[in-house]
Amino acid sequence: MKLEQIEKSSNVINPTILGEGNSSVKIAGEDSLPFLHREGKSGNRPIVAYEVFDSVPSDWPKSLKDEFKGVINKPIEWASFCKNELNAQVICLRLAGVHPDFGNASAQDSAKLCRDIYAKVNLPLVVIGCGDDQRDNKILPECSKALKGKNCFFGNATIDNHKTLVASCIADGNGIIAQSPIDINIAKQLNILISEVGLPLDKIIINSTVGALGYGLEYAYSIMERARLAALMGDKMLAMPFICFIGQESWRAKESKASVKNNPDWGNEYERGVNWEAVTANAFLHAGADILVMRHPKAGKIINSSINELSKKGIT
Amino acid sequence: MFIVGELINGMYSQVAKAILNKDKAFIQDLAKKQVESGSAALDLNCGPGSKNPLEDMVWLVESVQDVTDKMLCIDSTKYEVIQKALEVAQNETMINSANAEDEKLAKLVALAQKHSSALIALTMDKKGIPQNKEQRLELAVKIVGFVQEAGFDMQKLFLDPVLMPINVAQAQLVEIIEAIKDFKVLTEPSPKTIVGLSNISQGAKTRSIINRTFVVMGLSSGLDAAILDPLDKQLIDAVKAAELVLNKNIYCDSFLGA
């Protein structure tokens, strides 16, 4: 019996461009669920972004830090390493060091760092603040100004704190990462609020927040899946690409960092951590992630090869 | 809900005047307002007073597609007018309308196929408007059968059970709601359903609340589309709320602004 497709989606996930010129990257544009090539347009392939911190991350285990020996305290070199050695298409700069408790770095220094990294790597940047609203509202607008016209993306905008950042991004031609706490209603609400300030819909990327394997992965998956289905059925206020901070969540799990010495049954933590991140990322790839922000180079490599395989048109 | 904005219709005196004077700005403004208010398509009808409907319709199509890429619903009883309009239209189109009369149905299905246009088909024929749901269903079956035979895309067929004014045929309205339910189970994939909403309150003193109530009841019975006044904000808000209740849209606090 010949199977016929009886339903087609009525909407497309906004094709969204990060960066400008020859290093720009296009994501989304699909009108079907991920990798179901026979059901509709597959859109642009998901991409892997690597994280770079403005200050040495305090909570990374040795197994992760070792991968960035020599660059982990030099953000510009670190970004360059991600581009040249890991083939990153996008760099995610985390301004953790602007937090009052973790260095209190100045707006001026942070803006300079953004400018210098961009000048060095010429890749689109996703710049994420420290999570302290007051500091972020001071720092991020300066960073946005420093990357004026570069079509970089800034976050995290939230329900309670988005106006300052959105206004800066509109003025500077940049985009927004809109964060909601694994809650589809809030994700939609935030997109409406941001678009009411005046940012075009194709300048918004949803960070619906995720959980690692064993830490709420299924729930986060189901929220993304529901949002994506609604978007494909016509909901324009949810038809944005997703960014997933996979590394951040995976390396928070004790399973990815606890040493084999203390947990002999768990096996070598070097492999375990990589696998934890790769498995988490793979799940979200199927939920519709468009940008996977990764940490471990080996996990990134595994995911890139998954994307390659899944993007082959013959596979159903 | 697939909303077809009804306001560009020569039945309204201001629109008739704009058509007569070729007042492009007036028509384009009305088109833009309707699109901003949520219309997925715009009905174009040059009205009973038009002396040269062929020319007027072409002018309407060209004027409106200059300012929007939404679907155009070509509303005319004359085959030549529809044909010409489809030829000049660059936007997607919808024919308004065929009915269950053999000859008319055959011609308009062929025309819709030629131009990849959607097609509204009224469940009525030479005998007039049916009096109950059984007669409506009989005519719907005839239309659906013909359309299937012709290889026309079922999802581009919009069945219209012909809405009657509440002050003329009150008992018909329940029949119409039942008919909508029946239409949806005729085939898989099912045909779409549509009504000309304002008909229901034609001649009534308080119109908006009647339109609003019927559209919500219709939605919960499988109504897919309506030709209506998109500038009636309370009506549009009722549609949005109904879509939430039916789980067709995701709730958020600003759902009316989405």
| Predicted local confidence at residue B223, as pLDDT | 98
Helix, strand or coil, per DSSP, at residue A219 = helix
pLDDT of residue A38: 87
Distance, in Å, from the CA atom of B111 to the CA atom of B95, rounded to the nearest integer, reads: 9
Note the pLDDT tens digit of each residue in A239-258: 999 999 999 999 999 999 99
% of chain B at pLDDT higher than 70 = 100
Under a CB-based contact definition with an 8 Å cutoff, are residues B227 and B196 in contact? yes
For all residues of chain B together, what is the average pLDDT?
Answer: 96
pLDDT of B12 > 60? The answer is yes
Mean pLDDT of chain A: 95
- The pLDDT of A63-80, averaged and rounded, is 96
C-beta separation of A193 from A162 below 8 A: yes
Answer yes or no: are the C-beta atoms of A93 and A117 closer than 8 Å: yes
Task: Quickly state the pLDDT bin for B227 (edges 50, 70, 90).
Answer: very high
For A275-291, how does the pLDDT look when each residue is reduced to its tens digit (9 = 90+)? 999 999 999 999 999 99
**A315 pLDDT band (50/70/90 cuts)?**
low
- The answer, yes or no, to whether residue A308 has pLDDT greater than 80, is yes
Question: Of B189, B248, B258, which has the smallest distance from its Cβ to A192's Cβ?
Answer: B258
Average pLDDT over residues A128-144: 97
> What pLDDT was estimated at residue A7?
75
DSSP for residue A313: T
Kindly tell me if the per-residue pLDDT of A130 is higher than 80.
yes
Q: HEC profile for A58-88? A: CCCCHHHHHHHCCCCCCHHHHHHHHHHCCCC
DSSP assignment of A126-165 equals EEE--S-HHHHHHHHHHHHHHTTTS--EEEEE-SSS-HHH
Question: Rg of the Cα trace of chain A?
Answer: 19
Name the interface residues of B facing A (CB cutoff 8 Å).
188-189, 248-254, 257-258
The verdict on A189 touching B (C-beta cutoff 8 Å) is yes
| Average pLDDT, integer, range B62-79 | 97
pLDDT exceeds 90 at position B191: yes
Looking at residue A2, its pLDDT comes to 72
Q: How many Cβ atoms are within 10 Å of B110's Cβ, its own excluded?
A: 11
Q: In this structure, are residues B61 and B104 in contact, taking their beta carbons and an 8 Å threshold? A: no
- pTM for the predicted model, two decimal places: 0.87
Is residue A159 less than 8 Å (CB to CB) from chain B? no
pLDDT of residue A314: 62
Mean pLDDT across B41-59: 96
DSSP string computed for B6-27: ---BTTSHHHHHHHHTT-HHHH
Structure tokens at A18: 């990060």
Nearest to B257 among A184, A192, A227 (CB): A192
> Residue range B73-81: average pLDDT?
97
pLDDT at B8: 98
The pLDDT of residue A186 = 97
Q: Are strands A25-27 and A16-18 parallel, antiparallel or unpaired?
A: antiparallel
Do A96 and A53 contact (CB within 8 A), yes or no? Answer: yes
Whether the predicted pLDDT of B215 surpasses 70: yes
Cβ-defined contact of B258 to A236 (cutoff 8 Å): yes
What is the residue extent of each domain of chain B?
Answer: 2-257
pLDDT tops 90 at residue A316: no
Q: Rounded CA gap, A166 and B104, in Å?
A: 55
Q: What is the pLDDT of residue A161?
A: 95
Interface test with B, best of A185, A201, A204 (most B CBs within 10 A): A185
**Burial class of residue A142 (count of CB atoms within 10 Å of its CB; 0-12, 13-18, 19+):** middle
- Best of B1, B70, B252 to substitute, by most chain A Cβ atoms within 10 angstroms, is B252
* Residue A302 backbone dihedrals phi, psi, to 5 degrees: -60, -45
The reported pLDDT for the residue numbered B82 is 98
Q: A47, A40, A44, A46: which is closest to A232 by C-alpha?
A: A40
Task: Note whether B189 contacts A6, CB cutoff 8 Å.
Answer: yes
Structure confidence at residue A9 (pLDDT):
86
Residue in A7, A193, A230 closest to B250 by CB: A230
- Whether the Cβ atoms of residue A120 and residue A79 lie closer than 8 Å to each other: yes
- CA dist B244 and B219 (Å) reads 11
Across residues B12-41, what is the average pLDDT? 97
> Distance from B148 to chain A by nearest Cα, in Å?
14
The radius of gyration of chain B from alpha carbons, rounded to an integer in Å, stands at: 18
Q: Which domains are present in chain A?
A: 16-309 (3.20.20.20)
Helices A133-146 and A163-172, axial angle in degrees (round to 10): 0
As a whole number, mean pLDDT of residues B96-122 equals 97
Size of interface A-B (CB pairs under 8 A): 34
Fold of B2-257: TIM Barrel (3.20.20)
Q: What tens digit of pLDDT does each residue of A197-208 get? A: 999 999 999 999
d(C-alpha B178, C-alpha B82), whole Å: 31
- Which residues of chain B lie closer than 8 angstroms to A6, CB-CB? 188-189
Using a pLDDT cut of 90, give the percent of chain A over it: 93
Count of CB atoms situated within 10 Å of the CB of A55: 17
Task: Kindly report the nearest CA distance between residue B253 and chain A, in angstroms.
Answer: 6
Q: Do the Cβ atoms of A192 and B249 come within 8 Å?
A: no
Please report residues of B whose CB lies closer than 8 A to that of A184.
Answer: 250
Tell me the mean pLDDT in the region B207-226. 97
DSSP three-state, residue A224: helix
Q: Are A120 and A285 in contact (CB under 8 A)?
A: no
